[in-house]
Homo-oligomer: A and B are copies of this chain.
Amino acid sequence: MKTRIDPASLVDKGLELMYLRGYNDVSIKDLVDAAGMPKGSFYNHFKSKEDFALAVIDRYAEMWHTELRTFLADKKYPARERFSRFFDHMIDTYENSTHFTRGCLAGNFSQELGDVNDVFAQHVDTVFRTAESYFIHAVRDGQREGSIDPKLDAEATGQFLLNAFEGAMVRMKSARSSRPLTAFRNLVFTTIIR
């Protein structure tokens, strides 16, 4: 009996594998094996490996943006506290469930493919722009309610916080330690969001 194939589960497996090992180090055989699917079926659902990777990015974006909304757009807390809760949550996640690996898939793809492939660069940039908007809005909320210095340029500050956090995650991966993340948090809350 031929089993019907669920492309979504393949994307999930792809997210798992490419999150850890990147794009070029994961073959289509790796993907279909992990999903228990025959190789030929891959191309019924995705026109190429690149096309598939774009779907993986979209899946990641969906999860990431949900997480950002949960923490940074939650009006129950003052914005300053939203940030601290979010960073604490991220530090906790990396410490306890990924042993400091993986980082951020959008950052990984930006690094691995950003300078060589325009389609990826543009796709990843869109994901970043949405993520960034959560940071920027939270900064604005904080300025409105008085928990964040109103003299800061909200847009630049939001961008800065996102990018600096991404940088801390890059470093975390080679340091195999949460130190870069905690240094980030401590600095941010003593100098930028005081």
A residues near B, CB below 8 A?
20-22, 24-25, 100-103, 106-108, 110-112, 114-116, 120-122, 124-125, 128, 152-153, 156-157, 159-160, 162-171, 173-176, 179-180, 183-184, 186-187, 190-192
Contacts and interface: CB of A to CB of B under 8 A. Distances in A.
Nearest to A157: B187
A107 B187 contact: no
A170 B174 contact: no
9 contacts: A21-B115, A24-B25, A100-B115, A101-B114, A108-B112, A163-B170, A163-B183, A165-B167, A167-B169
B187 A121 contact: no
**How many monomers of this protein are in the complex?**
2
A179 B159 CA distance: 9
Contacts of A159: 171, 179-180, 183
Given A166-B167, A168-B167, A180-B163, A103 B128 contact: no
B110 A174 contact: yes
Nearest to A108: B111
Contacts of A165: 167
